A = this chain, B = another copy of it.
Amino acid sequence: MNNDLSAEADRADLLFLKSAMTLEGAFWTLEQVLHWVNEQNKKVTVNVNNRSIKALSGWGFDTSSGRLCHETGKFFSIDGIKVTTNWNGPKEWRQPIINQPEVGFLGIITKEFKGVLHFLLQAKIEPGNIPYVQLSPTLQATRSNYTQVHKGREPLYLDYFRKAQPAQILLDQLQSEQGARFFRKRNRNIILKLEEDIEERDQFLWLTLGQIKTLMQYDGLINMDTRTVISCISFGNHQPGIIDLIDFLAHDHKLYPSKRAILESALTVNTGKHSTAEIITFLTKLKSMYDLEVERVPLSSLPDWIIDEDAIRHRDNQYFKVIGVDVEIGNREVMKWSQPMIEPAQEGLCAFILKNINGLLHFAVQAKLECGNLDIVEFAPTVQCLTGNYRRTATGALPFLDYVLSAGPDQILFDTLQSEEGGRFYREQNRNLLVLAGDEIPEELPPRYIWMTLNQLQNFLKFNNYLNIQARSLIAALSFV
């Protein structure tokens, strides 16, 4: 690479880029990883049994606060909320929501092997996962975890994150979680790069970023937490016409035109259909016009929700249920606990439409209000819905839904089922879809939608509470090889 190019990119960007372009890891081939995860899934014993929400060990309905919480007051609680907004659709409703105010770590340790950055992932079991074992970050710890409310062992590798030096931190961002299910929940998404030798434990393995992104093409293999952490990775800002850099990167690879287009959209700065200032204007306008007020109310005061022996459920069985489960997990050593979980009423769909505009790939981004958002709206995929709501929204058909559902095979860049976080969500999966559009999708978008390049999305993503987790999950899936 010539010096001009490397001067424009910082070292972390280039490390990430090289790792993203590498499919042959130092230790594992893709086939070996798939085989190994399958083996883990066969070996593990998991029992998840429904238990009355009213008879859940350690959990109870607190009459003074009106919520469902743990006897220690830790972990999380299920609260009732009253939502008031002037956004399209219903102006006022009440619903249960998960309240977990403490920020946890979602952390990945990386290290260079043979000059390529490798990511230390863990085969982790969660009761809500499909399948149970998925590849998770090196560390996935709530504050309760690492302050030892569980009274269990300290999470592995925690000390690396607790004691991280600035020079070891490649990125460290606060990112939001599902705004329709969590009340303003955020996690700390952090990637460390270590120089020293690291003890490799059972159930952990080193993979390149290219391998992780490729493995996302398989249903339910890379868990939600891994997806959100790797979505935070950006690859640098280059002036238009970065052909040299791309040719350099493509040297050892056959780069398909669609992959090359994604790479160019990721790397090229200052060339979107809209400038950054215009995108900020777009958001400012929406955040100025629309209010979102959320007030805590007792769970017993939600007129559309019924608390029976089994669950907290919507009277028309819509949206989701809060169920109780007893969990038993283990091979040699068995762990047992009980907890409430969220069980969705249907599968969901998250889809981005991509289109070439002025020679650069753009994403049709939706500004979406969800009741748990910290700041009214976040950038979301072009289409984001529960399948039961496919055909109708409060104001009519959902924009672009028919289009993405009827996209031809040659338009599909990505189509998989991804599990949501299996520690809170019970067997919840969303179809993740990337659709390449032609002239049938015009450059003019409806209000509340805007075209952005991948470079622009990654730039907003760095500042907290700009991209929702569904958008980030799709961005994580974008592969350059």
Q: Which B residues are CB-close (under 8 A) to A12?
A: 277
Interface window among A32-40, A278-286, A341-349, A429-437 = A278-286
Q: Which B residues are CB-close (under 8 A) to A280?
A: 171-173, 462-463
The answer on a CB contact under 8 Å between A375 and B288 is no
A136, CB-defined interface residue at 8 Å: no
The answer on a CB contact under 8 Å between A281 and B464 is no
A465, CB-defined interface residue at 8 Å: yes
Within the complex, which residue of B170, B284, B463, B465 is in contact with A174, where a contact is CB–CB below 8 Å? Answer: B284
Q: Mark A341-377, 1 if CB is under 8 A from B, else 0.
A: 0000000000000000000000000000000001100
**Other A-B pairs, 6, CB within 8 Å; known A12-B277, A169-B281, A190-B284:** A171-B277, A172-B281, A172-B285, A277-B462, A460-B463, A463-B466
A260, CB-defined interface residue at 8 Å: no
Within the complex, which residue of B101, B186, B284, B460 is in contact with A293, where a contact is CB–CB below 8 Å? Answer: B101
A276, CB-defined interface residue at 8 Å: yes
A169 to B283, CA, bound (A): 14
A103, CB-defined interface residue at 8 Å: yes
The answer on a CB contact under 8 Å between B188 and A288 is yes
- Most chain B CB inside 10 Å of its own CB: which residue of A174, A278, A293: A174
| Chain A residues at the B interface, C-beta cutoff of 8 Å | 10, 12, 101-103, 166, 169-174, 186, 188, 190, 275-278, 280-281, 283-285, 287-289, 291, 293, 374-375, 460, 462-466
Q: Which B residues are CB-close (under 8 A) to A170?
A: 277
A464 to B288, CA, bound (A): 12
Within the complex, which residue of B174, B283, B284, B288 is in contact with A287, where a contact is CB–CB below 8 Å? Answer: B174
A370 to B12, CA, bound (A): 34
A21 to B190, CA, bound (A): 42
Contact A278-B166, Cβ < 8 Å, known A101-B291, A188-B284, A284-B188: yes
Find the B residue at minimum CB distance from A169. B281
Contact A174-B374, Cβ < 8 Å, known A12-B277, A101-B293, A166-B278: no
The answer on a CB contact under 8 Å between A375 and B101 is no
Q: Which B residues are CB-close (under 8 A) to A278?
A: 166, 169
Closest 5 A/B residue pairs (Cβ):
A172-B281, A103-B288, A463-B463, A188-B288, A174-B284
Least Cβ–Cβ distance between A285 and chain B, in angstroms? 7
A130 to B460, CA, bound (A): 40
Find the B residue at minimum CB distance from A274. B166
A101 to B84, CA, bound (A): 13
Within the complex, which residue of B188, B277, B291, B374 is in contact with A375, where a contact is CB–CB below 8 Å? Answer: B374
Find the B residue at minimum CB distance from A187. B288
Contact A464-B276, Cβ < 8 Å, known A281-B166, A293-B101: no
Q: Which B residues are CB-close (under 8 A) to A288?
A: 103, 174, 186, 188
Find the B residue at minimum CB distance from A463. B463
Contact A173-B10, Cβ < 8 Å, known A375-B465, A463-B463: no
Find the B residue at minimum CB distance from A189. B284
Q: Which B residues are CB-close (under 8 A) to A102?
A: 291
A275 to B293, CA, bound (A): 36
Find the B residue at minimum CB distance from A170. B277
Q: Which B residues are CB-close (under 8 A) to A276?
A: 462
Q: Which B residues are CB-close (under 8 A) to A281?
A: 166, 169, 171-172
The answer on a CB contact under 8 Å between A284 and B464 is yes
Contact A287-B375, Cβ < 8 Å, known A172-B280, A277-B12, A281-B166: no
Q: Which B residues are CB-close (under 8 A) to A466?
A: 463
A166 to B281, CA, bound (A): 9
A171 to B278, CA, bound (A): 8
Can you give 21 A-B contacts (C-beta < 8 A)?
Answer: A10-B275, A12-B277, A101-B293, A102-B291, A103-B289, A166-B281, A169-B278, A170-B277, A171-B281, A172-B280, A174-B283, A186-B287, A190-B284, A276-B462, A280-B462, A283-B464, A287-B464, A375-B465, A460-B463, A463-B463, A463-B466
